[in-house]
Protein backbone atom coordinates (compact mmCIF):
# COMPACT_ATOMS: atom_id res chain seq x y z
CA UNK A 1 0.00 0.00 0.00
CA UNK A 2 1.47 3.39 -0.94
CA UNK A 3 1.06 6.64 0.96
CA UNK A 4 -1.19 9.29 -0.57
CA UNK A 5 0.52 12.16 -2.39
CA UNK A 6 0.77 14.93 0.17
CA UNK A 7 2.05 18.41 -0.62
CA UNK A 8 5.41 19.23 0.92
CA UNK A 9 5.17 22.06 3.42
CA UNK A 10 8.18 23.75 4.90
CA UNK A 11 8.39 23.54 8.66
CA UNK A 12 9.37 26.43 10.89
CA UNK A 13 13.05 26.98 11.45
CA UNK A 14 14.70 27.85 14.74
CA UNK A 15 15.17 31.60 14.38
CA UNK A 16 15.16 34.56 16.73
CA UNK A 17 11.88 36.35 17.47
CA UNK A 18 9.42 37.85 16.99
CA UNK A 19 9.23 38.79 20.66
CA UNK A 20 11.13 42.03 21.03
CA UNK A 21 8.28 44.51 21.50
CA UNK A 22 7.13 42.89 24.72
CA UNK A 23 10.56 42.15 26.11
CA UNK A 24 13.88 43.94 26.45
CA UNK A 25 13.15 46.68 23.92
CA UNK A 26 9.77 47.80 25.25
CA UNK A 27 11.04 50.85 27.18
CA UNK A 28 12.15 54.13 25.59
CA UNK A 29 14.42 54.64 28.63
CA UNK A 30 16.94 52.36 26.93
CA UNK A 31 17.11 54.91 24.12
CA UNK A 32 18.82 57.52 26.31
CA UNK A 33 22.49 56.64 26.05
CA UNK A 34 23.67 60.02 27.35
CA UNK A 35 21.44 62.03 29.67
CA UNK A 36 21.17 65.81 29.27
CA UNK A 37 24.21 67.52 30.74
CA UNK A 38 26.73 64.86 29.71
CA UNK A 39 29.71 66.65 28.09
CA UNK A 40 29.89 66.37 24.32
CA UNK A 41 27.99 67.23 21.16
CA UNK A 42 24.34 66.19 21.62
CA UNK A 43 23.09 63.98 18.80
CA UNK A 44 20.09 61.86 17.98
CA UNK A 45 21.10 58.69 16.16
CA UNK A 46 18.15 57.51 14.08
CA UNK A 47 18.52 53.95 12.77
CA UNK A 48 16.24 52.49 10.11
CA UNK A 49 16.22 48.78 9.22
CA UNK A 50 15.15 47.68 5.71
CA UNK A 51 14.88 44.16 4.35
CA UNK A 52 16.20 43.03 0.95
CA UNK A 53 13.16 44.48 -0.82
CA UNK A 54 13.52 47.88 0.88
CA UNK A 55 10.57 47.20 3.20
CA UNK A 56 10.90 48.46 6.80
CA UNK A 57 11.47 45.79 9.47
CA UNK A 58 9.02 46.61 12.28
CA UNK A 59 10.21 44.15 14.89
CA UNK A 60 13.99 44.34 15.00
CA UNK A 61 15.91 45.06 18.18
CA UNK A 62 18.91 47.38 18.02
CA UNK A 63 21.61 47.43 20.69
CA UNK A 64 24.43 49.91 20.57
CA UNK A 65 27.62 50.56 22.48
CA UNK A 66 29.75 53.67 22.23
CA UNK A 67 32.51 55.66 23.87
CA UNK A 68 31.97 59.06 25.50
CA UNK A 69 33.21 62.32 23.95
CA UNK A 70 36.77 61.57 25.16
CA UNK A 71 36.79 58.08 23.63
CA UNK A 72 36.32 56.24 26.95
CA UNK A 73 33.83 53.39 27.36
CA UNK A 74 31.69 53.48 30.52
CA UNK A 75 31.87 50.63 32.99
CA UNK A 76 28.50 49.10 33.84
CA UNK A 77 27.16 50.13 37.26
CA UNK A 78 27.60 47.68 40.09
CA UNK A 79 24.73 46.09 42.02
CA UNK A 80 22.63 48.75 43.72
CA UNK A 81 24.44 51.64 42.00
CA UNK A 82 22.32 54.22 40.18
CA UNK A 83 22.41 54.33 36.39
CA UNK A 84 25.15 56.69 35.21
CA UNK A 85 24.36 59.82 33.17
CA UNK A 86 26.39 58.28 30.35
CA UNK A 87 25.70 54.58 29.96
CA UNK A 88 27.40 54.06 26.61
CA UNK A 89 24.75 51.41 25.90
CA UNK A 90 21.28 51.55 24.40
CA UNK A 91 18.59 49.11 23.30
CA UNK A 92 15.43 49.85 21.34
CA UNK A 93 12.95 48.02 19.17
CA UNK A 94 12.13 49.41 15.75
CA UNK A 95 8.71 50.93 15.12
CA UNK A 96 6.26 50.01 12.36
CA UNK A 97 8.34 52.09 9.92
CA UNK A 98 11.52 50.21 10.91
CA UNK A 99 13.00 53.13 12.86
CA UNK A 100 14.34 53.73 16.36
CA UNK A 101 16.18 56.77 17.74
CA UNK A 102 18.81 57.11 20.44
CA UNK A 103 19.54 60.28 22.43
CA UNK A 104 23.28 60.45 22.97
CA UNK A 105 26.46 62.39 22.32
CA UNK A 106 28.81 62.09 19.40
CA UNK A 107 31.48 59.63 20.54
CA UNK A 108 35.17 60.43 20.60
CA UNK A 109 37.57 58.04 18.93
CA UNK A 110 38.47 55.23 21.33
CA UNK A 111 41.72 56.09 23.05
CA UNK A 112 41.41 59.77 21.99
CA UNK A 113 43.17 62.14 21.53
CA UNK A 114 46.01 59.99 20.10
CA UNK A 115 43.70 57.42 18.53
CA UNK A 116 44.23 56.16 15.02
CA UNK A 117 40.57 55.16 14.64
CA UNK A 118 37.51 57.21 13.82
CA UNK A 119 34.63 57.82 16.20
CA UNK A 120 31.99 55.13 15.82
CA UNK A 121 29.05 53.38 17.42
CA UNK A 122 28.93 49.58 17.47
CA UNK A 123 25.51 48.20 16.55
CA UNK A 124 24.13 44.72 17.21
CA UNK A 125 20.94 43.78 15.36
CA UNK A 126 18.49 41.07 16.47
CA UNK A 127 15.43 40.17 14.44
CA UNK A 128 13.18 37.38 13.27
CA UNK A 129 14.71 35.17 10.63
CA UNK A 130 18.27 35.53 11.94
CA UNK A 131 20.01 32.52 13.38
CA UNK A 132 22.73 34.84 14.74
CA UNK A 133 22.62 38.53 15.48
CA UNK A 134 24.45 40.92 13.16
CA UNK A 135 27.19 43.40 14.07
CA UNK A 136 28.06 46.57 12.23
CA UNK A 137 29.53 49.98 12.95
CA UNK A 138 28.16 53.46 12.46
CA UNK A 139 30.72 56.06 11.45
CA UNK A 140 29.93 59.75 10.96
CA UNK A 141 30.12 61.14 7.43
CA UNK A 142 32.73 63.88 7.08
CA UNK A 143 34.90 62.72 10.00
CA UNK A 144 38.51 63.45 8.95
CA UNK A 145 39.68 60.32 10.82
CA UNK A 146 37.75 57.95 8.51
CA UNK A 147 40.76 57.52 6.23
CA UNK A 148 42.95 56.25 9.06
CA UNK A 149 40.49 53.97 10.84
CA UNK A 150 42.05 50.46 10.95
CA UNK A 151 38.71 48.60 10.84
CA UNK A 152 37.15 50.76 8.14
CA UNK A 153 40.29 50.34 6.01
CA UNK A 154 39.57 46.58 5.88
CA UNK A 155 36.27 47.28 4.09
CA UNK A 156 36.45 47.72 0.28
CA UNK A 157 36.22 51.42 -0.58
CA UNK A 158 32.99 51.02 -2.57
CA UNK A 159 31.28 49.38 0.47
CA UNK A 160 32.36 51.94 3.11
CA UNK A 161 29.39 54.29 2.51
CA UNK A 162 27.11 51.58 3.94
CA UNK A 163 28.71 52.29 7.32
CA UNK A 164 28.20 56.06 7.31
CA UNK A 165 25.52 57.98 9.18
CA UNK A 166 24.50 61.18 7.43
CA UNK A 167 23.50 64.42 9.13
CA UNK A 168 19.81 65.29 8.79
CA UNK A 169 18.61 68.81 8.07
CA UNK A 170 18.01 69.68 11.74
CA UNK A 171 21.75 69.60 12.55
CA UNK A 172 21.25 67.27 15.53
CA UNK A 173 19.97 64.04 13.97
CA UNK A 174 22.21 61.55 12.20
CA UNK A 175 20.49 58.98 9.99
CA UNK A 176 21.84 55.47 9.52
CA UNK A 177 20.07 52.93 7.31
CA UNK A 178 20.68 49.22 7.72
CA UNK A 179 20.06 47.34 4.47
CA UNK A 180 19.88 43.64 5.26
CA UNK A 181 20.36 42.57 1.63
CA UNK A 182 20.49 43.96 -1.88
CA UNK A 183 22.60 46.43 -3.81
CA UNK A 184 23.23 48.65 -0.78
CA UNK A 185 23.62 45.85 1.79
CA UNK A 186 25.22 47.13 4.96
CA UNK A 187 28.65 45.71 5.80
CA UNK A 188 28.33 43.31 8.73
CA UNK A 189 31.29 42.06 10.76
CA UNK A 190 31.87 38.43 11.65
CA UNK A 191 32.55 38.47 15.38
Q: Which residues pair with 50 in a beta bridge?
A: 56, 179
CATH topology of domain 20-179: Protocatechuate 3,4-Dioxygenase, subunit A (2.60.130)
Q: Quote the pLDDT of residue 15.
A: 47
With 60 as the cut, is the pLDDT of residue 10 above it? Answer: no
Whole-number Å distance between alpha carbons of 107 and 175: 15
Task: Count the Cβ atoms, other than its own, within 10 Å of residue 150.
Answer: 9
C-beta separation of 34 from 86 below 8 A:
yes
Whole-number Å distance between alpha carbons of 165 and 143: 11
CB under 8 Å to 14, separation ≥6 — which residues? 131
Question: pLDDT band at 19, cuts 50/70/90?
Answer: very low
With 80 as the cut, is the pLDDT of residue 9 above it? Answer: no
CA 78 vs. chain centroid, Å, equals: 25
How is the chain split into domains, by residue range? Answer: 20-179
Q: Which of 21-25, 65-69, 73-77, 141-145 has the lowest mean pLDDT?
A: 21-25
Q: CA geometry: angle at 64 spanning 62 and 68, to 5°?
A: 155
pTM, two decimal places: 0.84
Amino acid sequence: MSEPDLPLVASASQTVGPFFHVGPGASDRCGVVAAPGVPGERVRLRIRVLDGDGVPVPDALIELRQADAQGVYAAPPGPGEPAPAFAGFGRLATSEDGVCGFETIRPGAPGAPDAAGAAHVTVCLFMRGLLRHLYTRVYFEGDPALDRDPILSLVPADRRPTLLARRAGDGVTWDFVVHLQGDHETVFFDL
